[in-house]
Amino acid sequence: MSDGTRFDGRTAIVTGAASGMGRATAIRLAADGAAVGCLDLAADAAAETVETIRAAGGRATAAAVDVSDRDSVRTAVAAVEADLGPTRVLANVAGILKFANSHEVSVEDWDRVVDVNLKGTFLMCQAVIPSMLEHGGSVVNVASTAGVFGQAYVAAYAASKGGVAMLTRALAWEYVKRGIRFNAIAPGGVATPMTGHVDFPEDTDFSLIQKSIAADGQMIDPNEPAALIAFLASDEAASINGTIIPIDRATTT
């Protein structure tokens, strides 16, 4: 448990900070002492996260971003760094999930899921690496159990999250001697708006997707992955690099 000083003097950026796991992560990092840039496509809701952090005595700022768009990413990161200083922690939490039969999925939906989940994670990493090369840093990406063992009806999502895992390992190797760590978490079913309402194909065989819920059938509290992200981002995890840590109540074991 942190005493609130874990990230003192450090700036963290969290994408997807308007909702679910991203909001929980932004609040957790701020409680642990970070000044937090709350980035999201939903700028108004990200501003609510900022209000929550400030009300608790923390420091935060919000910026609108579409993580799949390089210019938008650069603009948002520059705005946060102008306000809060160089980025030392990045949590890539933004993501989207769409269910479909793979023989019916549109190219547009495929592209959007891969662009947001995989390219967006890369573009965010790329944007903060210059600051981190100068000041040191730690990146935590959010993969998924679906990107570890696969999952029916979400081929683009599973492929994008498998890509996030390998992107994490590739960057961990590349920057291991230059002061930047990269890790990922692979959550099972977490109780967030993403899982609160899902549009399944009409002919969905639910027996095929039961594994995507935690092995004991319980949804995970978003504060748990938030705490894991905070640990991985902190100096307490200084020797943990290039790992993909499941948080799934034994689903992947």
Residue ranges that bind ligand NAD, judged by CB under 6 A:
15-16, 18-22, 40-42, 65-68, 93-97, 116, 120, 142, 144, 187, 189-190, 192-195
Q: Give the shortest CB-14-to-ligand NAD separation in angstroms.
A: 10
In the complex with ligand NAD, the residue whose CB is nearer, 32 or 66, is: 66
CA distances from 192 to 61, 62, 68, 203, 222 (A): 23, 21, 22, 25, 7
Evaluate whether 163 touches 147 at the Cβ level (below 8 Å).
yes
In the complex with ligand NAD, the residue whose CB is nearer, 3 or 108, is: 108
Q: Give the shortest CB-90-to-ligand NAD separation in angstroms.
A: 13
In three-state secondary structure terms, 22 is: helix
Q: Give the shortest CB-173-to-ligand NAD separation in angstroms.
A: 23
Evaluate whether 181 touches 241 at the Cβ level (below 8 Å).
yes
DSSP 8-state code for residue 115? I
Task: Look up tokens 């003097």; give the residue.
Answer: 9
Q: Please return the burial class of 1, using the count of CB atoms within 10 Å of its CB with bins 0-12, 13-18 and 19+.
A: exposed
Q: Give the shortest CB-239-to-ligand NAD separation in angstroms.
A: 25
User: For this structure, is 157 an active site residue?
Assistant: yes
- From the list 157, 175, 182, 231, the catalytic residue is 157
In the complex with ligand NAD, the residue whose CB is nearer, 136 or 195, is: 195
Evaluate whether 178 touches 191 at the Cβ level (below 8 Å).
no
Strand 35-40 vs strand 87-92: parallel, antiparallel, or unpaired? unpaired
In the complex with ligand NAD, the residue whose CB is nearer, 120 or 163, is: 120
Instruction: Provide the annotated active-site residues.
Output: 157
